[in-house]
Chains A and B, each alone.
Chain A
Amino acid sequence: MRKISRLSRFNVASLALGLAFLYLPILILVIYSFNASRLVTVWGGWSLRWYHEFFNDRAMIEAAWMSLRVAASSATIATLLGTLAAVALSRGERFRGRTLFSGMLYAPLVMPEVITGLSLLLLFVALNAERGFWTVTIAHTTLTMCFVAVVVQSRLGSLDRSLEEAAMDLGCNPVRAFVAVTLPLIAPAIVAGWMLAFTLSLDDLVIASFTTGPGSATLPIRIYSEVRLGVKPEINAICTLVIGLIAVVIVIASLASKLSSSQGESAAPL
């Protein structure tokens, strides 16, 4: 335990500057989304004009809806697969192909997105798959399940193994010990993994560009093509909405994990 914190003026200054650097641009973006003026840089008073514009922009709305669907389904599949992978890696001891398995799980974390996107597109073309919702979902699942696996695995790794042993000692078979003891304890990590997968998918431009087909653009693809043409106030409004959505997801998830840790009796379903 650290009793005295020795914060120097330098420490405080670098922290404050760092946080300002991280937050100011986003804050400015949000404020300007409420700007009445068409000129992005001239303040013309508060207005919801650009939000109206967005809600009347059918192409944007469709792209946003597509992104949300892809994010929700790929995050769910990725959470399932990633959790299974984490369990296999942290509890499976040695099995054949383990090195290859963990290699495959770590590689996409650091692989340039252009390569992941390119390789998946080539696969889909070879399989003659129709590109659209499902190809993007599969591509995002492949990427995000690796993040879920890392998050859940680190929680599993820090979990005291004698808890599982105690459960077995008290009459659980291995699977049941996992469900009754391990699962409730790693639930926050699983929730965090889902959130991470959801936002990563919502965020992705490169892989989606490669794997989607004509007529099914995701929100980042639409935003990107607009941004290349210059700053538009409507984009500020869309970005603000996305930030708001992500903030809500984070708040809900952190509340959920707090709840699950405070009411233990209901957290034990068996």
Chain B
Amino acid sequence: MTDELPRTDVAADAAGADTHPAAGQPLLRIEGVAKTFGMFRAVDGVSLDIKAGEFFALLGPSGCGKTTLLRMLAGFEAPDEGRILLGGEDIAQALPHQRPINMMFQNYALFPHLSVRDNIAFGLKRAGMARADIATRVSEMVALVKLEGLEKRKPDQLSGGQRQRVALARALARRPQLLLLDEPLAALDKKLREDTQGELMELQRRLGMTFIIVTHDQEEAMTMASRIGVMKAGQLVQVASPRELYEAPRSRWIAEFVGDINLFEGESRLRDGHRLVIGTRDAGTLVVAEPREPVGAGKFAVAIRPEKVKLSRRGPVSEAGHETALNRLDGVIADICYLGGTTTYRVKLDTGGMMQASVANSARLDVDAYSLNQHVVAWFTPDDCVVLPS
């Protein structure tokens, strides 16, 4: 039986060095892709470009459509609308075995009746590779994921971490142009997950391959990915680098989904140079930097990350602080949450609202720590604030 391909170029030396499209063109282009299950619009018009060599993360809560999007890339679902171009060729209707894309499944989907070696060799046999080449490639892969000596084991004789490595090796063995990872670390415990994150990143850099990972864990996405696409209700709501996503979220929802944040609702009062003055209900009047895209008058939310909020007993200490820290709010400590590296204080503001401040525990002894009900000043600069449409 022969596969009418685009076949994976298993003979290529490095991961598809010669299969990459011309520079500047994206490896993968998703154009207006949509998928409906019955009445439920799981993916609702997603467009996205992914460049070769990227480590891209699709992030979103469960049910947001990220897994459906990934399954459409792998070929397990056909989009109802839109195109999926890989290297300029539309593959939206191609069957999974006809795509030079491989997937690492959430529960690994290792074949329980096959040994580690046969699991890794499975895709190579399908591609019609010579027996000797298969053996070479398999041992290469086994070494790559550090599974030497376990080749003859069955999946149920492996630990969770080892199974994860077999799944990775099996998906990489065909040297796909694109590797899809569906919640690859969800089944591992915290410590192992952190180690594996590092290994995956290292591997991706070394092979120069393109990875798309689906995760609901924002920390995981931020750690590993060079770019993150946030999905909500079937739509891509923001595509940005981890830093940009964190520091300049596009909407309230994203700001709250990615990390902790203080949000204060209000209305803009007046414009002063590059600054806006916004009157809020819970935090009085705040001075904030004008966002990149100018906003008109109306309702806004002012967002400040907890670690941008400084606390002191009497307001800004330094000279520079006095000049820039235009926002100073009085309050009392209402709650203390010690987290090791940092301590999060919840401050009951005199203006009525609550504010979280995350303070690094830079000294071992707690001379600087605040105590419950202590009076403090919370202060931050206009640049620390993000103005979001309400």
Residues of chain A at the chain B interface (Cβ within 8 Å): 160, 162-163, 165-174, 176-177, 180-181, 184-185, 260-261, 264-265, 267-268, 270
CB of B102 within 8 A of CB of A168, answer no
Q: Does B109 contact A (CB under 8 A)?
A: yes
B113: chain A residues within 8 A (beta carbon) = 184-185, 260-261, 264, 267-268
Q: Does B97 contact A (CB under 8 A)?
A: yes
* A-B pair number, CB within 8 angstroms: 85
**Shortest beta-carbon distance, B344 to chain A, in Å?**
37
B154: chain A residues within 8 A (beta carbon) = 264
**Shortest beta-carbon distance, A156 to chain B, in Å?**
15
**Shortest beta-carbon distance, B260 to chain A, in Å?**
35
- For chain B residues 250-282, which have a beta carbon within 8 Å of chain A? none
CA gap between A132 and B1 in the complex, in Å: 44
CB of A265 within 8 A of CB of B105, answer no
Among candidates B76, B106, B118, B174, residue contacting A171 with C-beta atoms closer than 8 Å: B174
CB of A171 within 8 A of CB of B3, answer yes
CA gap between A91 and B115 in the complex, in Å: 26
Q: Does B127 contact A (CB under 8 A)?
A: yes
**Shortest beta-carbon distance, A46 to chain B, in Å?**
47
Nearest first, the 5 A-B pairs at minimum CB distance are A171-B126, A170-B123, A166-B109, A162-B109, A168-B96
- With most chain B CB atoms within 10 A of its CB, the pick from A171, A173, A180 is A171
CB of A163 within 8 A of CB of B3, answer no
What's the tally of chain B residues with a CB closer than 8 Å to chain A? Answer: 32
CA gap between A177 and B97 in the complex, in Å: 10
**Shortest beta-carbon distance, A127 to chain B, in Å?**
41
B114: chain A residues within 8 A (beta carbon) = 264-265, 267-268
CB of B115 within 8 A of CB of A166, answer no
A166: chain B residues within 8 A (beta carbon) = 103, 105, 109-111, 170
Q: Does B112 contact A (CB under 8 A)?
A: yes
CB of B97 within 8 A of CB of A264, answer no
When A168-B97, A265-B114, A268-B114 are in contact, do A173 and B1 touch as well, CB less than 8 Å? Answer: yes
CA gap between A170 and B119 in the complex, in Å: 10
> What residue of chain B has the Cβ atom nearest to residue A261's Cβ?
B113
A169: chain B residues within 8 A (beta carbon) = 74-75, 96-97, 101-103, 123, 171
CB of A173 within 8 A of CB of B118, answer no
CB of A160 within 8 A of CB of B102, answer no
B103: chain A residues within 8 A (beta carbon) = 165-166, 169
Residue interface mask B69-98, A partner, CB < 8 A = 1: 000001110000000000000000001110
CA gap between A99 and B23 in the complex, in Å: 54
Residue interface mask B48-85, A partner, CB < 8 A = 1: 00000000000000000000000000111000000000
A267: chain B residues within 8 A (beta carbon) = 113-114
> What residue of chain B has the Cβ atom nearest to residue A267's Cβ?
B113
> What residue of chain B has the Cβ atom nearest to residue A180's Cβ?
B122
CB of B102 within 8 A of CB of A264, answer no
Additional 10 contacts, C-beta under 8 A, given A162-B106, A165-B76, A170-B174: A162-B105, A163-B109, A165-B74, A169-B103, A169-B123, A170-B126, A170-B171, A264-B113, A265-B118, A268-B118
- With most chain A CB atoms within 10 A of its CB, the pick from B76, B126, B154 is B126
When A165-B105, A166-B103, A166-B105 are in contact, do A172 and B111 touch as well, CB less than 8 Å? Answer: no
CA gap between A176 and B74 in the complex, in Å: 18
> What residue of chain B has the Cβ atom nearest to residue A270's Cβ?
B125
B123: chain A residues within 8 A (beta carbon) = 169-171
CA gap between A167 and B126 in the complex, in Å: 9
CB of A165 within 8 A of CB of B109, answer yes
Residues of chain B at the chain A interface (Cβ within 8 Å): 1, 3, 8, 74-76, 95-97, 101-103, 105-107, 109-115, 118, 122-123, 125-127, 154, 170-171, 174
CA gap between A265 and B127 in the complex, in Å: 19
When A176-B1, A264-B154 are in contact, do A162 and B107 touch as well, CB less than 8 Å? Answer: yes
CA gap between A171 and B8 in the complex, in Å: 9
> What residue of chain B has the Cβ atom nearest to residue A168's Cβ?
B96
CB of B118 within 8 A of CB of A170, answer no
A173: chain B residues within 8 A (beta carbon) = 1, 3, 95, 97
**Shortest beta-carbon distance, B6 to chain A, in Å?**
12
CA gap between A70 and B1 in the complex, in Å: 38
CA gap between A162 and B106 in the complex, in Å: 9
B126: chain A residues within 8 A (beta carbon) = 170-172, 176
B118: chain A residues within 8 A (beta carbon) = 264-265, 268
A165: chain B residues within 8 A (beta carbon) = 74, 76, 96, 103, 105, 109
17 pairs, A vs B, C-beta closer than 8 Å: A160-B109, A162-B105, A163-B112, A165-B76, A165-B105, A166-B109, A169-B123, A170-B97, A170-B102, A171-B3, A171-B8, A171-B123, A172-B97, A173-B3, A185-B112, A265-B115, A265-B118
CA gap between A265 and B112 in the complex, in Å: 11
CA gap between A174 and B174 in the complex, in Å: 19
CB of B115 within 8 A of CB of A171, answer no
- With most chain B CB atoms within 10 A of its CB, the pick from A167, A185, A261, A270 is A167
**Shortest beta-carbon distance, A163 to chain B, in Å?**
5
A174: chain B residues within 8 A (beta carbon) = 95
CB of A171 within 8 A of CB of B111, answer no
> What residue of chain B has the Cβ atom nearest to residue A260's Cβ?
B113
CA gap between A89 and B106 in the complex, in Å: 26
Among candidates B3, B75, B109, B115, residue contacting A264 with C-beta atoms closer than 8 Å: B115
CA gap between A171 and B101 in the complex, in Å: 10
A270: chain B residues within 8 A (beta carbon) = 125
CA gap between A268 and B117 in the complex, in Å: 12
> What residue of chain B has the Cβ atom nearest to residue A263's Cβ?
B113
> What residue of chain A has the Cβ atom nearest to residue B10's Cβ?
A171
**Shortest beta-carbon distance, B178 to chain A, in Å?**
12
When A165-B105, A176-B1 are in contact, do A171 and B112 touch as well, CB less than 8 Å? Answer: no
CB of A163 within 8 A of CB of B111, answer yes
**Shortest beta-carbon distance, B41 to chain A, in Å?**
20
